[in-house]
Amino acid sequence: MFELTIALKYLVPRKRSLSTTLISAMSILVISLVVWLVLVFLSVTAGIEKNWIKKLTSLHAPIRLSPTQDYYNSYFYQIDALTAASHYTYKTIGEKYESQISDPFFPDVDAELPPYLPPADRLNNGMIRDPVKDAIRSLTMLQKEIPSLSFQDYEIGGALMHLFLTSSSSSLSQMSYLLSIPDQNPYFHDLCLPPAEGPLDFDLPPEIPPPYIYFVQKKLQIPDLGPEIPAILPKNYKDSGAKFGDRGTLSYTTPSAGSTQEQRLPFRVAGFYDPGILSVGNKCILVPQEVSRDIYGSTQTFSPDGTPTNGIFVWINELSKAEEISKKITLLLEEAGISSYWKVTTYEKFEFAKDLLQQFRSDRTLLLLIAVIILMVACCNIISLLVLLVNDKKKEIAILQSMGASFKSIAAIFGFCGIAMGVISCLLGSLLAVFTLHNLDSLVSFLSKIQGRAAFNPAFFGNSLPNQLSWEAFLFVLIATPILSLLAGLIPAIKASRIRPSSSLRSE
């Protein structure tokens, strides 16, 4: 292609055309700097967003199955409060799953059922439909297809916590939420803070088990503390002086025949965890599942952030597939005929995360828009450079036309020049961005030193800024820069193609 040959010749800097060379170098430099800035900024913000989403979904799984009102109104749920086999108490999802029988009503033992009780949802064979066991069965089936998937039922209860701090010989009290320890959560290990008293991880089960939570080959081990409950507290308690082994009680009330009765459960601090970004995170104590079930069954607790107090968490290793997997789960629940009993929600629609994630999305759109505008302004340099080049090369354009070069070919030469400048700038800017991201920590500490305080607050951004190049951002500049450069090159290209060869060739 002769157009490319000519364009490359025009792009090579020459002493003879110093002004064109200088403007060309300036244009490339400006676009490179903009590409660099856009890439670094988008990469860091994408990294921060990823970290926040990870924090949002580490404890609270990215997919959640919560019982619907249909479930709570159903015979399946209501019957437990009316039957002796269920001790006349409602059952949690976990208890329902572990129950040997789906229908605890025995006419010989139990009283006649009240007329307000809805009819049981029965299968064709007359057996009662069990939405819990069917849901767990569906998830187990899906687990065979997606081995990285894991799930666990959870309960959120409420209790008043009294904690005695040995470090300061003082005590503190706080109303707390009790969440069952997510021992099936594959990411729970990353949330646990390492104890000062010994290692968190073991390759083999230790001969003398430590009195705190630990992991054997990444599998959570909860210590047996006798009558005391092992409790895992959020990390802010550690910051307040709580230590491993500190003792306390959890108080809650249970209804009795005539009044309510206070129950006190002794506990010992067996670990600390990072609750991530949960509105109730700092008040959320992790306790063994049987404890959270008991308390859940005794007290009516509601979560202020709108999280259902009983449900099933589903963890996956690729957050981007959350929506796809949630659809699969819904389909399986539909096939099992229990979809009306369950609401499948992905992390993007969680009550406590929805606004934050929407804000992230809006910010990302806004940032991309700003990036496009900055790139457009930078690419405008190409217009001025190429107009100058066209004026400089008028005679050569006419010579090419006399040899038969068409208008399209002439326009293509300057279009190529525009794209080439865009691509060169894009590559140069990307290299700069990779280098900057690689040395981001040094840059941040340098900025902090200049300012005399932390340039980025660790509370918001973590101990170090994310320094992974965002492939989305790279793809964006890789596509946007050459396109904008081409568009910028079009104006000079059209100008070049309109040159009248006759007048240019005789202008000497």
Kindly list the residues in this chain that would bind other proteins in the complex (CB under 8 A): 2, 5, 9, 14, 395-396, 398-407, 409, 500-502, 505-506, 508
* 67 touches 350 (CB < 8 A): no
- Going by the DSSP 8-state scheme, the letter that residue 342 receives in this structure is E
Taking the complex as a whole, the smallest distance from the CB of residue 413 to other proteins amounts, in Å, to: 11
Residue type, 141: M
Rank residues 457 and 507 by Cβ distance to other proteins and give the closer one. 507
How many other C-beta atoms can be found within 10 angstroms of the C-beta atom of residue 143?
Answer: 14
292 touches 250 (CB < 8 A): no
CB of 399 to other proteins, least distance (A): 5
Least Å distance between CB 506 and other proteins?
6
Q: Which is nearer to other proteins, 187 or 407 (CB)?
A: 407
Least separation, in Å, of the C-beta of 2 and other proteins? 4
The Cα 289–Cα 127 span in angstroms is 29
Question: Based on CB atoms, which residue is closest to other proteins, 14 or 219?
Answer: 14
Q: Please identify, using beta-carbon distances, which residue of 327 and 500 lies nearer to other proteins.
A: 500
| CA–CA dist 144, 155 (Å, integer) | 26
Shortest CB 146 distance to other proteins, Å: 54
CB of 1 to other proteins, least distance (A): 8
What's the closest the beta carbon of residue 385 comes to other proteins, in angstroms?
A: 17
d(CA 275, CA 58): 8
| 305 versus 396: smaller Cβ distance to other proteins | 396
Q: What is the secondary structure of 412-454 as a DSSP string?
A: HHHHHHHHHHHHHHHHHHHHHHHHHHHTHHHHHHHHHHHHTS-
Q: Indicate the residue among 331 and 399 with the shorter CB distance to other proteins.
A: 399
Q: Which residues contact 208 (CB under 8 A, 6 or more apart)?
A: none
HEC assignment per residue over 205-262:
CCCCCCCCCEEECCEEECCCCCCCEEEEEEHHHHHCCCCCCCEEEEEEEEECCCCEEE
- Smaller CB separation from other proteins, 464 or 502: 502
Cβ distance to other proteins smaller for residue 74 or 504: 504
Taking the complex as a whole, the smallest distance from the CB of residue 21 to other proteins amounts, in Å, to: 13
| Nearest-approach distance from CB 11 to other proteins, in angstroms | 11
| Cβ distance to other proteins smaller for residue 31 or 389 | 389
Spatial distance between the Cα atoms of 354 and 306, rounded to a whole number of angstroms: 11
Least distance to other proteins, CB of residue 501, Å? 5
CA–CA gap between residue 11 and residue 22 (Å, rounded): 11
For residues 18 and 11, give the distance between their C-alpha atoms in angstroms, rounded to a whole number.
Answer: 12
Q: Which token pair is 386?
A: 């190429």
User: Long-range contacts for 84-92 (Cβ within 8 Å, ≥24 apart)?
Assistant: 84/109, 84/110, 85/109, 85/110, 89/297, 90/297, 91/297, 92/153, 92/155, 92/293, 92/296, 92/297, 92/310
Nearer to other proteins, 330 or 409 (CB): 409
Residue type for 240, please? Answer: S
